[in-house]
Structure 1
Amino acid sequence: MWSTACDALDVPVEQSVRTTRMLRSLLPTWAHERIGPVPAQPSYVADDGFPAEMSVNWSGARPELRVLFDSLDHEVVWPGESVFRSRRLDHVRETFTPRAGRPSPAPLWHSIAWRPPSEVVHKTYFGLYSWPHAHREAAVAEAMARLGMAEAWDDTRRRVETVEGDREIEFFAVDLTDDAQARVKIYYRNHGAGLAEVERVAAVARNHDPARARAAYRTLAGAGADAGEAALSCLAFRSGVDRAAESTTYLRLPALAPDDREAVERTATLLHGEGVDPGRFRTLAAALAPGPPGDARGVLELVSFRAAGRRGDVTTYFRFPVFDRPAPAPLSPVDLG
């Protein structure tokens, strides 16, 4: 799929081959096992339990290709990992384990992001979705304190709590880079939210254009005011900024569009309005689809929008239908008692 995406995005062959080999070397042990009729160890990444997804960010001169994958308890070692990267992750790693009083180790997800011809960027995500809420909040507060961002998190959390609605912290993530723009990200899952609600959550960030955000959400959602099932809000923090620097809202297209054909059309309209030629996106969506888009639903799973200055900051998330039925849901806080 990575190689297919490189072809659709007109990546030179030698770069496609090199990065495909790199991806193969990075993926955990599960990537080399034969796929059976059901996942041997279901993952929370996709509804059917498959432990990976692919996404593309369309801002900038060239698209950025990404793969997110669940480690499924396997160790992932980044080639050439620098001391800085190790220290950054090590500052917070223990916070998400039983050694810090948590009920279980947080599942680790990893991603690589590559915008040719730049270097690959690595990211790590801690999944908090199976813990009781109090443990999630305590772990995030401790991790932000260790990273010197406690005040920014306290201010942002208070702002989020003023927005009416039902939401929960679901992920904590760090960019593994020494770049000045490296982010720490906290993800909320919204329940039963409308478009106005997710926009108010996004607006707690310092750098946010509400008019552009509302227009983007309406384009993706169609005629309704509903944000769809389990819309996500990501608040990104940067060193030296006194609250969340920017925000990204993720809308789940299968909950908003009847099929992938309509989801692709709405996304293409959004890209065009943001000054991005949607041609390569259409080519990519067709290349990744297992059949005609009118017969499929959920391959284009999520579309995110960030209204933080640069135009075209749209990311499209693709899931691959591998297994025939949904995977068992992870334990909820109620299940955990």
Structure 2
Amino acid sequence: MLLTGAMPRSRVTAMRKVGVVPSSREVSPSPRRWGVFPAHGVSFTQFLTSQYRTAAAHLGFSNSDVETLITELSVALGSWGDHPIGSCPEVPSFVSADGFPAEMSISWKARRPELRILFESLGDQATPAGCQRAGRDFTERLADREGVDLRRYRLVEDLFVSDRPRLNRPTIWHSLAWCPGESTRYKAYFNPQSESSDPAAVLERTTEAMERLGLGRSWSSVRMWMPEMIDRGNEIEFAALDLMNSERARVKIYFRITGRALEDLDAVASLASGHDSHRAARAWRSLYHGQDKSEGEEPMVCLAFRSGSPQPEEANLYLRLPGNAGSDEDAAQRIAVLMRQEGLDPQPHLEMISALAPQHPATMTGLQDLLAYRTTAPGAPADLGTYFRFSVYDQPVEV
């Protein structure tokens, strides 16, 4: 998924990734550079569908399913997907540190892989306003898709758009997700900092959205803790909606955890009824080899709300890999250990990294950006998610 100081955080993070600004503690004696994908001149659709096809094949999806997915993704990207990828982004996207407007992820729910892609639509005009307009237009084009419901989206869209959207900040993003035997599901992402990054203003906007969505009671169980969370430096970063008419449809609020320590993440995640602090701590220790704090870009926590529940039902921890693992090979092995602990076969993931990486995974970093960890029912396996970023520009975003 997925993200301010004398120098903007996005720029510092990007510069760390390319080896310009060191993190506070190096975890490898020879820091790795981004693995850069040779995509110059290739269209966005060609590049993304190629990565999508590679991932789907290693997940064991049938050829007919893969072709259906490729067609749906191509349609979703629309006309901007036909534009060639240049040597630098015409309008940098906040999706990735180098400004590339898409990331791919795989969710392992109940041991079944779900393939997903998150993207920011690029407008005909290479400006933040053009991207915001393109995102809104794409949402409306989804209205006729089977299973898509925009009623909740239309209740809150006006809260998150801006007359003057800022450069290299989120506009309106979308994701599509699919697993065998199910229809494609869409989600829309909003930026609560669209008009102001002031914590009080962001909290007010988020609270208004949750009231409109009929989730005021559930949100109040989190709202009461927001002064303490803000004092800790935690920020409301994103809001997201499942675009479907179902009692299981979620509203998700994402928090950036600036303290980077497990206790900071767990304090937010524990507001969800389904969060298991003991298992989350075990996953943290496994992934970070016992570190008290993570390095690099800040981790995040997402709280998921559903109608009828008095508090958020689920918490997803988004744990960073770059800056903590020495290379993508190291990151893949750390993820494999955690997958085995949760009863998952890591071989498809390991093979996928070798197939996706533009060079040997031991010589690069940045492809595996995040690992998501979420507990559900007691005794049930955790949901894991792996997030992939495709660095194509080999330079930090200048903002």
Question: What TM-score, normalized to structure 2?
Answer: 0.78
- CA pair 103-325 structure 1, distance change in 2 beyond 3 A: closer
Is 1:285 matched up with 2:353? Answer: yes
Q: Number of residue pairs matched?
A: 327
Match of 1:166 in 2: 233
Task: Give the superposition deviation at 1:45.
Answer: 0.4
Is 1:89 matched up with 2:159? Answer: no
Matches for 1:85-164 after TM superposition, within 5 Å: 85-98=149-162, 107-129=171-193, 131-133=196-198, 134-162=200-228
Match of 2:107 in 1: 57
Match of 1:192 in 2: 259
Match of 1:325 in 2: 395
Give 1:180's match in structure 2, choosing from 236, 244, 247.
247
Match of 1:333 in 2: none
Do the aligned partners of 2:269 and 2:301 also contact (CA within 8 Å) in 1?
yes
- Secondary structure (helix, strand or coil) at the match of 2:144 reads coil
Task: Give the superposition deviation at 1:286.
Answer: 1.6
Larger RCO: Structure 1 or Structure 2 (Cα < 8 Å, ≥ 6 residues apart)? 2
Do the aligned partners of 2:95 and 2:170 also contact (CA within 8 Å) in 1?
no
Do the aligned partners of 1:159 and 1:204 also contact (CA within 8 Å) in 2?
no
Give 1:215's match in structure 2, choosing from 282, 287, 300.
282
CA–CA distance in structure 1, aligned partners of residues 181 and 145 of structure 2: 20
Between the two proteins, what is the percent identity of the paired residues?
37
Match of 2:17 in 1: none
Match for 2:192: what amino acid? L
Structure 1 unaligned spans of 5+? 330-337
Task: Give the superposition deviation at 1:144.
Answer: 0.4
- CA pair 83-142 structure 1, distance change in 2 beyond 3 A: farther
RMSD: 2.0
Do the aligned partners of 1:183 and 1:238 also contact (CA within 8 Å) in 2?
yes
- CA pair 166-297 structure 1, distance change in 2 beyond 3 A: same
CA–CA distance in structure 2, aligned partners of residues 308 and 199 of structure 1: 15
- Secondary structure (helix, strand or coil) at the match of 2:257 reads strand
| Cα-to-partner distance string for 1:187-224 (whole Å, 9 max, x where unaligned) | 01111321122112111111111111110111111231
Match of 1:258 in 2: 326
Match for 1:212: what amino acid? R
Question: What TM-score, normalized to structure 1?
Answer: 0.91
Greater Cα offset, 160-169 or 176-185:
160-169
CA–CA distance in structure 2, aligned partners of residues 314 and 69 of structure 1: 21
Task: Give the superposition deviation at 1:86.
Answer: 1.9
Do the aligned partners of 1:264 and 1:285 also contact (CA within 8 Å) in 2?
yes
CA–CA distance in structure 2, aligned partners of residues 313 and 267 of structure 1: 13
Do the aligned partners of 1:260 and 1:300 also contact (CA within 8 Å) in 2?
yes
Do the aligned partners of 1:109 and 1:127 also contact (CA within 8 Å) in 2?
no
Greater Cα offset, 161-170 or 261-270:
161-170
Structure 2 unaligned spans of 5+? 1-50, 123-130
